[in-house]
Every structure is written in structure tokens, then in C-alpha cells.
Structure 1
């Protein structure tokens, strides 16, 4: 009883501190407000244009890569801004804060007395609460799938198992679903990534044959659902797993474009860029001198896309050394650095977007 009261008191103190914290902070000016507003407006406009594209119209599909590239650059620019300061309470702050503490105390007492599971879920963030509910539902979903032998039931069981981290059940459920209907992107990509990462979970070495099969499943899912964010996310992880950094970055950048709020690829994108820039001396030179204008992969930004450039090697050499318009001159590059940059740009010209 005493322990319960102590726990209740700590919860009330924490709730009070959280609710009253805005009273202690003054509003801070946002130095990036104008730039942030402009970038957010540009982001929203690009998403609206992407959403309006008709996948059955060749002209619309031809525009998609450029719109996605510009959206990715806008997201990157937003990520580079410092977080916007939080505004303090403006209307009746003390009354609102005290009311919040009172409500927190009431809910805490009610939960402590009644032990309602739904209240306990309210203490978790939405993702954690969903995972808990998924775990609780697993026995029912499994029984339903085994009873009906229906594809939808197996998919529901697989989704709940995968989202809650119960991967052995997810493997079983998605495997049964694919036997019933082989062309299901969600089942294909999730089964593929589970196979590809099985070594970390089981400590059993992944065979070359299993790795090849896993990659095939993930690529097939991305071909069936190229505009599904998870398809591009898992495709990027798969490419990175096989050391194909350029393809991995392209897929993960597209994931960020398709799901602007998704942060699952941030660490991987940072690691891949760092790995490219440290392992390749030419990319180090490019990152130090060119990436801020032409983009980290030459797809453009403040400056034009190098991948779409039709300039000859001689013209590129002249512009790099002498500069042109807003492009500054780089006369101090060594011969090896200059030739390396020219080789890189010519390779991008052949690859295109």
C-alpha cells in the first residue's frame, strides 16, 4: 500500500512538472521562421503535385522523378534547420496548468484504483499502445487464420505479429498468405526482410541462397508497389545490406519523399552518405566543394542537376577551373582531383536520374 502511494505521488509530481513547464519558459524567436515557412509551403505544394499525378498517364509518370527529387531536397533543407522553439501558454496559463494537474491527478487516482488496462495504454505513445494491443490480439488472430484458412485472416495475423515484433509468427502467417496469393507486396517485402535479418535474431549464419531469395522477395514487392513507402524503405535496407550504397540511398530518399513524416531511414541515410564520402576520395572532394549546390548525388538543388547535364568533358573542365555565372572557380584542385570529378560527373550523365 505504501509503495503504491509513493508511486502515485511520483506520478503526480511528474505530471505537474510537465504541465507547468511551459510557465517557466519564455517565447523564443525563431531565426529560421521565414525560411521554414517557405520550405514547408514548397513541400506541401510538391506533395500536392505528386498526389495529383495519374500513374496511367506517361506524361505524369515522366514528371514524377523530378518532383520526388525536389521534394527530397526540400525535406533535407527542412531537416537542416534548428527545431522551432515552442511557444508558451498565452491565455490563462496558470489556470490551464492547474486544471491540467488536477485532471492528471484524477486520472492517475482512477487508474491506480481501478487498474483499467485501457487507462494503462493511455500512458504509452500511440505506437507502443498499438503494439501492446497487437500482442494481445495475436492468439485470436492466429486462431481465426487457422480456422478459416483465409488469405485476409493470415495477412491480419502477419501484420499484427510483424508490427509487435513477434517475428516467428509473422514468418508463419505471411508464408501461408503467399501460398494462397503470391502477389502481395506487404507479405513479400516483410517476409524478405525477415529472412534477410534472420542471422541477427537466431545467430544462424545466413546462406547465400537464402540471402538471394530474400532480396528477390523485396525487389518483387517494390516492383509491385513502387509508391508504397515501406517498399522503398525495405528495398533500401536490402541494398545497403549487400553493399550497394548508391541504390540504397536512392530507395531511402524515395521513401522519405513518399512518407515525409517517416524517420526510420534517417540513421541509415546518414551512415551511407558518410561511408561514401570517407571511402571514396572523389566523393570527399565532391562533398566538400559541390554537394551544397548540386545535391549529394548530383541530382541538383540550388545548382542544376549534373545527371541531366549534356556538357562535354572539356566544357565541364573549363567551368570547374574558371567558374561561370553563379558557379565559383576551383583553380586549386589537383590534377587527380579534377580528373576524378570529371569521371564522376560523366558517370552520372550516363546514369541520368
Structure 2
């Protein structure tokens, strides 16, 4: 940004200098000006006499004198070049044009990127999707190609322009009805339409949404978003265990994905109400170590060979990426340690 402004100021200063330079500088002196003027006048006089000559007997003498005058003019040093305001103004206009072009280019490209750099990654992605949306929509409507409809739908979905996303993905499915991305995103939009419009979804629409999302998961079971949206949908229908399985598979497919953390914690808490140790573990530990301690982002607790004292120290004080839990009561800490030792024994 600073470099672009500096470059623009530099070009503006150069253009101003070129415009004012002819006015600032005096015309250079010509030491041979008197002689040059005398010879020029002589040349013009002789040319005039030759043009009106009536006695041809005088022509050779006049031509000889004219030739000698021209030779004398050619022998003089070249006269210093005067300033060229016209050329300077042309260069100045060109400089201003370049500056304007750089300004427009910066406004269209560099400045938005500089502004995007200050946003969170998710926000920057959304802004970029909004900027691309009109062009992608126009391209898809012009070509009618499946890939163009998908690109339009993806940008609309990422920028929360859900009406356009429905239109784009709907057209994409007309060209190919077995597209997991279009199926699952249309399904989740249909399922959550009530939240967007304030109108409760009908049972028929809910079943249709579930079918779309399940079909997408069957077509692309190894795509993280398939399992993520399937887990969200199943949790809405009260199928907690199936939802948790889908969301844990999502975390396996995308270990850095954090979109399902809150839902996973909620599901684990609901599923483990009858066991206080599992309930506590689900709320505090399962998001990293897995629902059954088999590992995830964090290491497997079932394969751990740590002593009870080491487990207690790491739990209370933390270690590496493992956060500390110093506020656990003695009773809560005992529940967790008993559970981890039990899992170590089971392997």
C-alpha cells in the first residue's frame, strides 16, 4: 500500500516538473546568433534576386554567392535547441495517465487484498466469494455448464447468498443428479430454511432434506463435509449415536476442522448422562482424545503407559498442546483418572 502511494506521488511529481520546466528555464544563448542572422538574411535576399532575375548573364554570379552563403551557414555550430513545451506536455499527460491507471489497478486488486489481509480467514473467504459472485453467476447463466453452476453455487453458499446457492445447485443437479456437493448443500439449506425464514419446516421437507444429505454421504463418504452435514442432520432428528459417529468420522477425515466441536460435546453429554465419568470426559476431553479415548487430535489414552501420578500431573498442569484443568475438584479428577486407568487396562 505504501509503495503504491509512493509510486503514485513520484509519477505526479514528474508530470508536474515536465509541465513547469519550460516556464522555469530561460532559452539558451546562441553566441553565433548575429552571424547566423546575417547569413540567413543574405541567403534569403539572394534567393529573392534569383527568383526575379531578368538577365540570365547574372545567374552564375548570384548562384555562386548563394552557394558560398549556404556553406557559411552550414559551417556554423548547430544552434542550441529551444525547450519543447509541446513534448513536455505530452510526456506529462502520459505520466498522469499512467498514474491514473495504477490508481485504478490498485483499487481493483491491491487495495482489496490489503483490506482482506486484516480479516480472519473465514471472513476473507466470504468477502472474496461475494466479490466473485456476479461474474460467476453471469458465466453460469451464459454457458449452462455444470462446472460453472457448481462454481457459482459454491461462491453463493460460502457468502451466505443462499437463494442463489439453491438456484445454482439446482441447475447443476439438472445436468448431473449425482453430485454430492450439490445434494448435501441443498439438503442442509432445506433443513435449516426455517431458521432463515422463521417458518417451521414441514415433515415432508425434512424427510426430503434428510434423503438428499444421506445420498450425498453415500456417494462421497470420504469427503469431510458429507459426514459433517450428515451429523448435523441426524442430530436434528434425535439420532444422537448415529450423529456422533458421523461427526467423529468428520474429525478423522479433517483433523483440523473445528465446525463440529460444540455439537460433538453436546451429543456426548446427552449420551453419557447415566455415567458421570463419561459425561465429564465428554465435556472436557473427548474433543481431542476421541469419544472412547482411542485418540484424535490428541493421543490415544487406551495406548498410554503413563502412571496414575503422571496422568494426574498432566491433567491438572497441562503439557505441550494439552491444556491445564486446575479447577477440577478432587472427586472429578478421581473420576477421570479411574476412567483412564480402566481404558489402559482394556487397551
Deviation at 1:137, TM superposition (A): 1.2
Gap change, CA 1:131 and 1:298, over 3 Å in 2: closer
Residue 185 (1) aligns with residue 180 (2): yes
Corresponding residue of 1:227? 222
Give yes or no for contact 2:247–2:264 (8 Å, CA) kept in 1. Answer: yes
**Is 2:116 aligned against 1:126?**
no
State the partner residue of 1:116.
111
So what's the TM-score if we normalise by structure 2?
0.50
Q: Aligned pair in 2 of structure 1 residues 298, 178: CA closer, same or farther (>3 Å)?
A: same
* CA–CA separation in structure 2 for the residues paired with 1:151 and 1:120: 33
Q: Is 1:216 aligned with 2:198? A: no
Deviations 1:266-322 (A, max 9, x none): 0111111112223xx3x4475479999997459796449xxxxxxxxxxxxxxxxxx
> Which residue number corresponds to residue 190 of structure 2?
195
The alpha-carbon distance between structure 1 residues 295 and 184, as it changes in their structure 2 partners (threshold 3 A), is: closer
Q: How does 1:41-56 map to 2 (within 5 A)?
A: none
8 A contact 1:198–1:204 mirrored in 2: yes
2:258 paired with 1:258? no
Q: Cα offset for 1:141? A: 0.9
- Whether the 8 Å contact between 2:194 and 2:200 is mirrored in structure 1 is yes
Equivalent pair of 1:134/1:161 in contact (CA under 8 Å): yes
2:231 counterpart residue number: 236
**In the comparison of the two structures, how many residue pairs are matched?**
194
Residue 127 of structure 1, CA deviation:
2.5
Contact 2:268 2:279 in 1 (8 A): no
Match of 1:147 among 142, 145, 157: 142
**1:15-26 correspondence to structure 2 within 5 Å:** none
TM-score (norm 1): 0.50
Determine the C-alpha separation between the residues in 2 that align with 1:197 and 1:213: 12
Q: CA deviation at 1:218?
A: 0.5
The answer to whether the 8 A contact 2:294-2:301 is kept is no
Write the distance in 2 (CA, Å) between the matches of 1:249 and 1:230: 14
Distance 1:205 1:115, change over 3 A: same
- Structure 1: which 5+ runs fail to align? 1-110, 305-322, 329-353
Quick one: which of 145, 158, 162 aligns to 2:157? 162
Gaps of 5+ in 2: 1-105, 304-337
Mapping for residues 1-353 of structure 1, pairs under 5 Å: 116-278=111-273, 281=274, 283-284=275-276, 287=279, 296-297=291-292, 302-303=301-302, 327=342
CA contact (8 A) 2:228 2:250 kept: yes
SS of alignment partner, residue 226 of structure 1: coil
Cα offset, 1:118, TM superposition: 2.4
The answer to whether the Cα contact below 8 Å between 1:287 and 1:296 also exists between their aligned partners in 2 is no
Q: Distance in 1 between matches of 2:226 and 2:294?
A: 22
Q: Report the Cα offset of residue 239 of structure 1.
A: 0.5
- Cα distance in 2 for partners of 1:290, 1:195 equals 30
Q: Distance in 1 between matches of 2:129 and 2:246?
A: 29
Report the Cα distance in structure 1 between the residues aligned to 2:290 and 2:123, rounded to whole angstroms.
Answer: 36
Rg larger for: 2
Q: Could you give the per-residue CA deviations for residues 9-51 of structure 1, whole angstroms, max 9, x where no partner exists?
A: xxxxxxxxxxxxxxxxxxxxxxxxxxxxxxxxxxxxxxxxxxx
What is the deviation of 1:204?
A: 1.5
Q: Note the alpha carbon deviations across 1:99-126, whole angstroms, 9 max, x for none.
A: xxxxxxxxxxxx99x9922221221123
Give the C-alpha shift of residue 238 in structure 1: 0.4
Query: How far is the alpha carbon of 1:327 from its aligned partner?
Result: 4.9
* RMSD of equivalent CA atoms: 3.2
The DSSP-based 3-state class of the residue aligned with 1:116 is: helix
Residues 293 and 302, structure 2, Cα contact 8 Å, conserved in 1: no
Distance, in Å, in 1 between the alignment partners of 2:112 and 2:219 is 40
